[in-house]
Amino acid sequence: MLHDWSHNAGLAAVFDGAGGAGAASAGHSAQGVERSHAWVAARAARGLTEEWFVTTGQHGVQDHAASLEQHLAERLGEVRGASRSRIAGSMRRDLPTTVAALRYEVHPDRVVWQVLWAGDSRCYLLDSEHGLQQVSRDDAESGDALVLLTEDPPMTNMVSANRRFTIHAAPGHAAIPCLLVCATDGFFGYLNTPAEFEFLLLDTMANAADLTDWSTLLTQTVSSYTGDDASLALVALGFDDFDQLRADFEWRRSALQAEHIEPTRRASDGDRESFVAARMESWKLYRGSYEQRMPRQHGQERP
């Protein structure tokens, strides 16, 4: 999470090393702990994306996606160096990781952004009128969030040091107040429905005393259900304080609980067929708004 106060612009981003493709050892820490390519990849990509933003990405670059893609490819190749794995195979990658980033600029009445991504980590817009809306698109065969939740298909594109990859891009803007959110699949990939991730954000917000407490509650909650590492970056724009933020979303939280959370939880106490039906009904109600801002097809996102 970076913000340049002189230009009222910033970058929110998350990175998730791909454990399967990057399981090979990349070496050992100074304390003798073995680190995988996936572990190194997420941290290297984070540092390199920050480097890109402060040296290039916050300036008048014509194509931020191509600029970031080139920077990551060149610099990850340097990081790769002597740590190249001797393990061969079609699934192996050197330093594989996802990237999901929002480069944004804040204006008096709106925020303008470019979303940049590779892999299955996601970027979202969240406001009290429309709820959570995905503004990136998973690099997978399906773009259906419920299918991706229940079937977990492999990624078709991710950042790595030894394979070609693509940083996708899509522009967007929204009225403020609103929130911009980036999250790895550790947050949203182990829930019953896509709507539950939004409820998780709003329910922990409603029960928090302040921003620090909200962060603590988010950490405790995701740790209780996830089967993976989980990272989240969030920026709230246009709110006077945390009390206003919490108050603006209270009605939305209540609506989600009544329309999505309680019906699914009641069905989960019954048979499998009832649960699947409730999950499908939730997605039917939620999908229209959730997908409204999602890029429709890879290769057509850049302005």
Q: What is the pLDDT of residues 46-66, one digit of tens each?
A: 999 999 999 886 666 668 899
- Output the average pLDDT for the chain: 90
The full set of domain ranges for the chain reads: 2-290
From the DSSP assignment, how many helices (H) and strands (E) are in the chain?
Answer: 9, 11
The pLDDT of residue 264 is: 94
The pLDDT of residue 88 is: 44
**pLDDT 10s digits, 170-214:** 999 999 999 999 999 999 999 999 999 999 999 999 999 999 999
Which phi and psi (to 5°) does residue 99 adopt? -140, 130
Predicted confidence band of residue 31 (pLDDT cuts 50, 70, 90): confident
The pLDDT of residue 254 is: 97
The pLDDT of residue 299 is: 45
Give just the sign of the alpha carbon dihedral 197, 16, 232, 157: negative
Contacts of 150 (CB under 8 A, 6+ apart): none
**pLDDT 10s digits, 154-173:** 899 999 998 899 999 999 99
Predicted confidence band of residue 15 (pLDDT cuts 50, 70, 90): very high
The pLDDT of residue 25 is: 76
211-214 long-range CB contacts below 8 Å, 24 or more apart?
211/242, 214/242
Query: In this predicted structure, which of 24-28, 150-154, 196-200, 239-243 has the lowest mean pLDDT?
Result: 24-28
Q: Write the DSSP symbol of residue 19.
A: T
DSSP 249-274: HHHHHHHHIIIIIHHHHHHHTS-HHH
Predicted confidence band of residue 267 (pLDDT cuts 50, 70, 90): very high
Structure tokens at 276: 């699947």
Burial label, 241 (beta-carbon count in 10 A; 0-12, 13-18, 19+): exposed
Predicted confidence band of residue 300 (pLDDT cuts 50, 70, 90): very low
Predicted confidence band of residue 35 (pLDDT cuts 50, 70, 90): confident
- The class that CATH gives domain 2-290 is alpha beta
The pLDDT of residue 178 is: 98
Structure tokens at 128: 């009290």
Predicted confidence band of residue 81 (pLDDT cuts 50, 70, 90): low
Peptide bond just before 295 cis, omega within 30 deg: no
237, 106 in Cβ contact below 8 A? yes
The pLDDT of residue 270 is: 80
pLDDT > 70? residue 290: yes
Burial label, 215 (beta-carbon count in 10 A; 0-12, 13-18, 19+): middle
pTM: 0.92
pLDDT > 50? residue 269: yes
pLDDT > 90? residue 92: no
- R_g of the chain computed on alpha carbons: 19
Q: Write the DSSP symbol of residue 83.
A: G
195-198 long-range CB contacts below 8 Å, 24 or more apart?
195/256, 195/260, 195/261, 195/282, 195/283, 195/286, 195/290, 196/260, 196/261, 196/264, 197/132, 198/126, 198/131, 198/132, 198/256
Q: What is the dihedral of CA 25, 27, 29, 34, to 10 degrees?
A: 30
The helix (run of H) or strand (run of E) holding residue 112 is: strand 110-118
